[in-house]
Amino acid sequence: MSVPSAEMLETPPGYPFEEIDYADIEVEEVVGRGAFGVVCKAKWKGKDVAIKTIESESERTAFIVELRQLSRVNHPNIVKLYGSCDNPVCLVMEYAEGGSLYNAVVVGTRNHNISNANIAILFAV
């Protein structure tokens, strides 16, 4: 697996992230699958983090898109990107207890009488 080029990983000023040494990460368990690979719960610098890895070259584009998007966002309601590793290629992100937004909204609402309009209102708030 090749590493995305430095140009592809470049972030805008004001939202820097670290190049993280994978040896500094203690992987605890696989918690799911994301848009482009496996998601693991881990510890880094004493913090719970989510490690998102790509499994194949075909997932590289999604990885780069997510990296660029998260590197530009700084909001308390969006998980923080701490950095990335180049071997293996992965994102190191804030760990969100309770699972994915998809599970919270789609799976969680199947057992409740919540309309699509109410879900849209929740997202708008």
Binding-site annotation: residue ranges for ATP: 52
Q: Which two tokens stand for residue 108?
A: 């969680």
Structure tokens at 20: 């993280």
The residue whose two tokens read 């510890």 is 43
User: Please, which residues bridge with residue 49 across strands?
Assistant: 42, 94
Output the six-digit token pair for 113: 């009488």
Q: Which residues are annotated as a binding site?
A: 52
3-state secondary structure of 55: coil
Q: Tell me the C-alpha distance between 78 and 35, whole Å.
A: 16
